[in-house]
Chain A
Amino acid sequence: MSSPETITAPRSARRLTIARAISEAIGQEMERDPAVLVMGEDIGKLGGVFGTTTGLLEKFGAERVRDTPISETAFIGAAVGLAASGMRPIVELMFVDFFGVCMDAIYNLAAKQSYFSGGQVTCPMVLMTSVGGGYGDAGQHSQTLYATFGHLPGLKVVIPSNAHDAKGLMLAAIRDPNPVIFMYHKALQGMGWLGTVQRSITDAPEGDYVVPLGKAAIVREGSDITLVGLGLSVHHALDAAARLEKQGHSAEVIDLRSIAPLDRETVRASVRKTGRLLVVDDDYMSYGVGAEIIASVCEAGIPLRAAPRRIAHPDIPVPFTPVMEHFVLPDADKVAAAALTILEP
């Protein structure tokens, strides 16, 4: 799962959940850089509803690990102000679905600070937020909204699929001079009450390393079809690739890791090789990551052996019951089936 070229510290054999990887990265960077602090709801004593700040309050105290009043507008806006004064705030939006009450602070304030100050003021902040469904929480707690954020100039947007990348991406995100939206998928987070894809629990160096923002990883090499995923959908693609192999098809799987910037070149190079493309998105279909990837390949004039396809949610809110949610969310069955329609038209 990990991408060897990005590792600078020696590998170790630890097994980390993404939650642990995130809290470890933040803690290490707080130790290294006194300008780093964390703000959000339930991130102090509770350690974050999704475990992203476990142990940090005890280590760094309430001034640097700050529970906030329940006003996302205020703490994200405050982060923009803190960042302007040289701090490196990390804020947590508990569920990405809550962006509706605070979007102005994100897309107008954080995202445009640098541009509309003529580059005088930057906004080195990280907004980490949980995304995704599959655990029965319905359409106001299960969206990913990848494209919604990927669409906005000035924001970087990253989505790890495993603990190794989560730590390296978080360290890179905190050090980045731009606002970075760090999205972690609940189905990969490693919280006992949520259930977790085991493959997301990986080894990760204890020391300092970064996974560069905007670099995709080839997580499985193949020659017949390119499967592109991000976050949880990388795992659906990998599961599907294993099945396709049994049917005699060699699938290459790309983990985007970042959608802004988007590593179009890694995708194009792969499709030049395979001639077939299936994007596995985990967001509303229309105007999504799938469309963007397919357009990037088509615009480059890469010859395709079959029409490219995308898997995504239908354009409806994520419903609650598993019987319905099942039809909405991507899974390995759907990926394998769609891949076969491309491979064996």
Chain B
Amino acid sequence: MLKNSSRLHIPEPGCRPGETPDMSHITVPPAGEVRRPAEDVDPAEIRDLAWALIRVLDDGGNPVGDWNPGLSADALEKGLRAMMLTRAYDARMVRVQRQGKTSFYMKSTGEEAVAVAAALALEYGDMCFPTYRQQGLLVARDWPLVDMMNQVYSNSRDRLKGRQMPVFYSSREAGFFSISGNLGTQYSQAVGWAMASAADSDSRIAAAWIGEGATAEGDFHHALTFASVYQAPVVLNIVNNQWAISSFSGIAGGERTTFASRGLGYGIPSLRVDGNDFLAVYAVTRWAANRARSGLGPTVIELFTYRAEGHSTSDDPSKYRPGTEAAVWPLGDPIERLKAHMIGAGLWSEDQHAALERELEEVVRAAGKESESYGTLKEGARIPASTMFDDVYKEMPPHLVEQRKQAGL
């Protein structure tokens, strides 16, 4: 008989505050090493890609290997610009939060490529089901910053009419689905949207994002089942930024296998990509989108990246991880890496970069000024409180008419 030696395993991160950060457990394979299968490949032939790390940009900023999407200078500049604009936007919104002009904010610093490269690889009509950390989708789709700020400020032009918390954007026109407070729920909805699109023989597809932490939620698994069963045209992105508030990816199940490999059990082709490599994210998203559009169903993509800042303005990461951890993150910064590539290719220069940085700061500042003229959470114009009874139902039922009257509105 076997001796009873079962014991509980509690995952522990490599280092805690006060310790020297160490990321030596993360293996970074050379860029260009992973093959690019044909878009109509049988998923059974590419199971290994769920444990690979697709990278295009090498350490010198050169694009190497089959996955190089060969983007034009214009496309590269558009990507760089959108990532830089997202970063500048985030920086300003955190500043205004500190000034009390809004109550809360969430940055995407260090993960800008995840949303921006995907937005550029998808078609504008494709429907996005994001989390709170994919503001880069809106930025890359040229959605007006003023409109985003209006939501964050909850001012008189807020399209969500003062009802939703900051960064929980919703834009029907921009193909940006309403964000819900409950983690993971966007995945099932994305699959439903994709199923409708397939049934209509519509060429549009859906794309969804989820954090690695939230992959533990049931909705993630339910959605993968449906996506697989109905071969829904959907790109299912897992943003593995290593942290879920204070818990590291091991708590989410990252110690045994990759998050990409979750898709394999459902028979869904699953790829793992360097999330800080703009070109790789673009290429892999395009591959998956082409598959979906040509009737070959869903793809799971794990984007391996790092949450360089706190979870939100309510979070203090120094309580649970070393402050210098970001500095040893081995996959670098997405903006710096694309910049190095463009300079290396003779398409860009330090001077142009500095000028663009200044220009974008001004763009954000001007947008901020305009948005603040429509009010902020602290002062100025707002949506009238009486409207808060609207839209609960399509038509206001009698009891709400009555309650609105009682509220004196």
Q: Are A321 and B247 in contact (CB under 8 A)?
A: no
In the assembled complex, the Cα of A317 lies from the Cα of B12 at a distance in Å of 39
Q: Is A145 an interface residue (CB 8 A)?
A: no
In the assembled complex, the Cα of A275 lies from the Cα of B240 at a distance in Å of 61
**A49-B377 CB under 8 A given contacts A69-B251, A136-B165, A314-B403:** no
Q: Is B353 an interface residue (CB 8 A)?
A: no
The A interface is mostly helix, strand or loop, or mixed, namely loop
The B interface is mostly helix, strand or loop, or mixed, namely loop
Shortest Cβ distance from residue A190 to the other chain B in the assembled complex, whole angstroms: 15
- Picked from A135, A315, A323, the residue with its CB within 8 Å of the CB of B385 is A323
Q: Is A97 an interface residue (CB 8 A)?
A: yes
CB-contacts of B231-253 with A (<8 A)? 244-247, 251-253
CB-contacts of A240-295 with B (<8 A)? 285-286
Q: Is B92 an interface residue (CB 8 A)?
A: no
Q: Are B163 and A70 in contact (CB under 8 A)?
A: no
In the assembled complex, the Cα of A326 lies from the Cα of B385 at a distance in Å of 9
Q: Is A320 an interface residue (CB 8 A)?
A: yes
- Picked from B163, B392, B403, the residue with its CB within 8 Å of the CB of A320 is B163
Q: Is A2 an interface residue (CB 8 A)?
A: no
CB-contacts of B244-264 with A (<8 A)? 244-247, 251-253
Shortest Cβ distance from residue B220 to the other chain A in the assembled complex, whole angstroms: 9
Q: Is B5 an interface residue (CB 8 A)?
A: no
Interface-located stretch among A39-47, A197-205, A213-221, A226-234 = A39-47
Q: Are A320 and B154 in contact (CB under 8 A)?
A: yes
- Picked from A98, A315, A323, the residue with its CB within 8 Å of the CB of B182 is A98
Q: Which residues of B have CB within 8 Å of A71?
A: 216-218
**A315-B246 CB under 8 A given contacts A138-B163, A138-B168:** no
Q: Is B184 an interface residue (CB 8 A)?
A: yes
Give the most central of B214, B246, B253, B408: most A CB within 10 Å. B246
**A70-B388 CB under 8 A given contacts A138-B164, A140-B182, A323-B162:** no
In the assembled complex, the Cα of A325 lies from the Cα of B296 at a distance in Å of 47
**A137-B165 CB under 8 A given contacts A45-B16, A97-B182:** yes
Residues 157-187 of chain B, each 1 if its beta carbon lies under 8 Å from chain A, else 0 = 0000011110010000000000011111100
Q: Is B196 an interface residue (CB 8 A)?
A: no
Q: Which residues of A have CB within 8 Å of B163?
A: 138-139, 317, 319-321, 324
Q: Are B382 and A321 in contact (CB under 8 A)?
A: yes
In the assembled complex, the Cα of A178 lies from the Cα of B110 at a distance in Å of 46
Q: Which residues of B have CB within 8 Å of A140?
A: 165, 180-182
- Picked from B185, B244, B320, B377, the residue with its CB within 8 Å of the CB of A322 is B377
Q: Is A296 an interface residue (CB 8 A)?
A: no
Residues 343-359 of chain B, each 1 if its beta carbon lies under 8 Å from chain A, else 0 = 00000000000000000
Q: Which residues of A have CB within 8 Å of B385?
A: 323-324, 326-327
In the assembled complex, the Cα of A34 lies from the Cα of B388 at a distance in Å of 50
Q: Is A339 an interface residue (CB 8 A)?
A: no
Shortest Cβ distance from residue B19 to the other chain A in the assembled complex, whole angstroms: 12
Q: Are B182 and A136 in contact (CB under 8 A)?
A: no
- Picked from A42, A95, A136, the residue with its CB within 8 Å of the CB of B246 is A42
Shortest Cβ distance from residue B99 to the other chain A in the assembled complex, whole angstroms: 15
On chain A, the number of residues with a Cβ less than 8 Å from chain B's Cβ atoms is 46
Q: Is B213 an interface residue (CB 8 A)?
A: yes
Q: Which residues of B have CB within 8 Å of A193?
A: 314
**A101-B403 CB under 8 A given contacts A42-B245, A63-B10, A319-B162:** no
Q: Are B162 and A320 in contact (CB under 8 A)?
A: yes
Q: Which residues of B have CB within 8 Å of A314?
A: 389, 400, 403-404, 406-407
Q: Are A45 and B246 in contact (CB under 8 A)?
A: yes
Q: Is B399 an interface residue (CB 8 A)?
A: yes
Q: Are A41 and B399 in contact (CB under 8 A)?
A: no
**A62-B245 CB under 8 A given contacts A327-B385, A327-B409:** no
Chain B residue nearest to A74 in the complex (CB): B216
Q: Is B383 an interface residue (CB 8 A)?
A: yes
In the assembled complex, the Cα of A66 lies from the Cα of B10 at a distance in Å of 8
**A101-B247 CB under 8 A given contacts A321-B377, A327-B385:** no
Q: Is B103 an interface residue (CB 8 A)?
A: yes
CB-contacts of A139-187 with B (<8 A)? 139-141
In the assembled complex, the Cα of A322 lies from the Cα of B100 at a distance in Å of 13
Q: List 27 A-B contacts (CB under 8 A).
A: A41-B245, A41-B247, A42-B246, A63-B8, A66-B10, A69-B253, A73-B218, A74-B216, A95-B181, A101-B182, A101-B185, A136-B165, A137-B104, A138-B165, A138-B181, A141-B165, A193-B314, A314-B404, A314-B407, A315-B392, A315-B403, A317-B163, A319-B162, A319-B388, A321-B162, A321-B382, A321-B383
Besides A46-B320, A70-B252, A286-B399, 20 other A-B contacts (C-beta < 8 A): A41-B245, A44-B247, A63-B8, A70-B184, A70-B244, A74-B216, A97-B181, A101-B184, A137-B103, A138-B168, A139-B163, A139-B164, A314-B407, A315-B392, A316-B392, A320-B154, A321-B162, A323-B382, A326-B385, A327-B388
**Chain A interface (Cβ within 8 Å of chain B)?**
41-42, 44-47, 49, 62-63, 66-74, 95, 97-98, 100-101, 135-141, 193, 285-286, 314-317, 319-324, 326-328
